[in-house]
Amino acid sequence: AANIGSIIYFSPVIYVILCYFIFTKLSFFIVLIGYMGSGKTSVAIELSKQISKPFIDLDNLIEKSEKMTIKTIFDKYGEIYFRKKERFYLENIINSNNYSIISLGGGTPCYSDNMKLLQSRENVYTFFLKVSPKNVSKRLFVERKKRPLISHIDSFQSMEKFVSKHLFERMPYYSKSTHQIDTNNKSISEIAKNILALLT
Ligand code: S3P
């Protein structure tokens, strides 16, 4: 017998009805959590298109508001300064009435009790986008220069080693999310569909 998950997943009609339901009822934050390169921003953009709600990327907001790249903030003022700014802008978003989709930075849930802040709000749903160290290392090795925590890593092997350990350390924070989504071998739109199906 077909289970409800596969009916929702495969039926475009049910899918459109789901989107309509979410579009009309949505009065909460969808917060995307996960390691660097796990696809948070791309999934947020896709969700935003599908349910016509504005999205905010926390890193982008910090860069725009501070008129500096994340890399420059790290280089000039250090990580602790960045983490304080990160907390400040996260609180601003959560306390505003612009209900929306938010993609966090990879480290956001692990500092300043940010996860506690998110868990304390009834209208906040957190989604942890899970990705294997191998898959994410492939992506990150190519893009490492713009990411201050990994820009110094000079071989794929070292990247995988660093990512495996770092991801393991961060897991206790990430796994406090409302939902966990395995993103390995899934397209951005499949991940967005999985999220919408979990919201209804
Ligand atoms: C960080 C992740 C980055 C950015 C900063 C620190 C982290 O965001 O916030 O470089 O600690 O994992 P992305 O996950 O969007 O790359």
Q: What is the DSSP string of 56-94?
A: EEHHHHHHHHHTS-HHHHHHHH-HHHHHHHHHHHHHHHH
Q: What is the pLDDT of residues 157-174, one digit of tens each?
A: 999 999 999 999 999 999
Tell me, using a 6 A CB cutoff, whether residue 109 lines ligand 1: no
User: Which of 166, 44, 173 is closest to 114 using CA atoms?
Assistant: 173
Tell me, using a 6 A CB cutoff, whether residue 87 lines ligand 1: no
pLDDT recorded at residue 45: 96
Q: What is the pLDDT of residues 23-44, one digit of tens each?
A: 544 468 999 999 999 999 999 9
In whole angstroms, what is the distance from residue 25 CA to residue 2 CA? Answer: 28
% of the chain with per-residue pLDDT over 70: 89
Classified as helix, coil or strand, 127 is strand
Question: Distance from the CA of 184 to the center of ligand 1, in angstroms?
Answer: 20
Residue where the block lists tokens 């956001």:
108
User: Which of 125, 128, 121 is closest to 173 using CA atoms?
Assistant: 128
Q: What is the pLDDT of residues 94-147, one digit of tens each?
A: 998 775 899 999 999 999 999 999 999 988 999 999 999 999 999 999 999 989
The band of 4, judged by pLDDT with boundaries at 50, 70 and 90, is low
Counting from 1 in the atom list of ligand 1, the atom nearest the Cα of 38 is 14
Q: What is the pTM of this model?
A: 0.87
User: Which of 116, 73, 74 is closest to 91 using CA atoms?
Assistant: 116
Tell me, using a 6 A CB cutoff, whether residue 104 lines ligand 1: no
Q: What is the pLDDT of residues 45-81, one digit of tens each?
A: 999 999 999 999 999 999 999 999 999 999 999 999 9
153 to 73, 144, 196: CA distances (angstroms) = 19, 8, 36
Half-sphere exposure of 22 (CA within 13 A, CB side): 27
pLDDT recorded at residue 2: 57
**Pairing of β 101-103 and β 55-57:** parallel
Query: What is the rounded average pLDDT of the residues 7-11?
Result: 65
Please state, as a whole number, how many other Cβ atoms lie within 10 Å of the Cβ of residue 173: 17
pLDDT recorded at residue 21: 60
The best mutation among 149, 162, 165, 170 to test binding of ligand 1, ranked by most ligand atoms within 8 Å of the C-beta, falls on 149
pLDDT recorded at residue 9: 65
